[in-house]
Amino acid sequence: MNPASPLRATVVVPSRDRPEPLAACLAALALQRETAFEVVVVDDASLDADAVADAVADAVADRGRVRLVRGEGAGPAAARNLGAALARADVVCFTDDDCRPGPDWVGALVTRIANGASAVAGPTRNGRPDDVFAAASQLITNHLAEVSRHDDGPPFAPTSNLAVRAELFAKLAFDETYPLAAGEDRDWCERLARAGHRLAFEPDAWVAHHQELSARRFWRQQERYGRGAHRLRSGHGGDLRPVGFYLGLLRSGFAAGPRVGTLVVVAQLATCAGVIREVVADRRRDRER
């Protein structure tokens, strides 16, 4: 990254207590063919803030323009908003600290926006193909994103791979009432569509997602997605996806192997558990009012 170049993009990377994946993400960003961009790392109240600072310091020393700012632990939506508010470029790109963007990622996103798009998403690949938990998790997210691009609803893209005009994002930030890494991306995509903007898809702007999931982490992740889905439906209305969506998801899961397919089934149970948890919490809050 050349600090003297006019900035074409600001890349926002929220992070919390994952210095090693963050270092790998910053290393991948340093290999971008597009060089006129900055990186804003938002440390969302890491318990080991020094380790995160060391990862960023190494990136600054070795690779150029990277800034570190401190968040308040309010969750990834708030962290992304903070990073975007500090952007010095006209395009804001979002990825996660456990993602490694391909070398053309920034360039492909910026070019697509320069050609008229307001917001752009690219494909997120599983960076750990031999890990059955990572494979199942990414398959579920990618199935939702793929189906959404071809049905009548708003297109969906996870914030692991997203870019938007800074001027538009200033009017359409992430909803910080989503405290978890769940649902805030779908909420943003729905509000983007309702505001009359199209979410374009750029196949050359890929990132590899290196999730480190155990059985327990996988269950908790999918349960969290269920909690976010309930909050999303409560805020925007709408029903469950049609049966065909889930049948297609199961077919894709078992096509990837019996272990992946079984985990896709488990994930749906965890999602239901998350929805139930949020319903119970809503009723408790209603009684306390």
What pLDDT sits at residue 256? 96
Provide the 10 A C-beta neighbour count for residue 84. Answer: 21
Q: Are strands 99-101 and 207-209 parallel, antiparallel or unpaired?
A: antiparallel
Highest mean pLDDT among 7-21, 145-159, 269-283: 7-21
pLDDT, tens digit (0-9, with 9 covering 90-100), for 54-93:
888 887 755 568 999 999 989 999 999 999 999 999 999 9
Residue 66 near residue 129, CB atoms below 8 Å: no
pLDDT > 90? residue 137: yes
Average pLDDT score, the chain: 91
Report the pLDDT averaged over residues 121-129.
Answer: 97
Rounded to 10 degrees, the C-alpha dihedral 94/52/135/208 comes to: 50
What pLDDT sits at residue 49? 87
Report the pLDDT averaged over residues 94-101.
Answer: 98
Residues 6 or more apart whose Cβ sits within 8 Å of residue 161: 94, 95, 99, 101, 105, 121, 122, 123, 124, 205, 206, 207
Helices (H), the chain: 19-30, 49-63, 76-85, 105-114, 132-148, 166-169, 184-194, 215-236, 243-255, 258-288
**What's the predicted TM-score (pTM) here?**
0.91
Report the pLDDT averaged over residues 247-251.
Answer: 95
Binned at pLDDT 50, 70 and 90, residue 5 comes out as: low
Burial track 64-74 (b if 16+ CB lie within 10 A, e otherwise) = bbbebbebeee
What pLDDT sits at residue 28? 96
What pLDDT sits at residue 56? 83
pLDDT > 90? residue 188: yes
Candidates 69, 71, 61; CA nearest to 23 is: 61
What pLDDT sits at residue 240? 62
Residue 37 near residue 89, CB atoms below 8 Å: yes
Please say whether the dihedral angle defined by the alpha carbons of residues 35, 44, 169 and 206, taken in this order, is positive or negative. Answer: positive
Q: Is 200 helix (H, G, I), strand (E, B) or coil?
A: strand
Residue 267 near residue 256, CB atoms below 8 Å: no
What pLDDT sits at residue 284? 82
Rounded percentage of the chain residues whose pLDDT exceeds 70: 94
pLDDT, tens digit (0-9, with 9 covering 90-100), for 217-245:
999 999 999 999 888 887 665 556 788 88
Instruction: Kindly report which listed range (113-122, 142-151, 260-269) carries the lowest average pLDDT score.
Output: 142-151
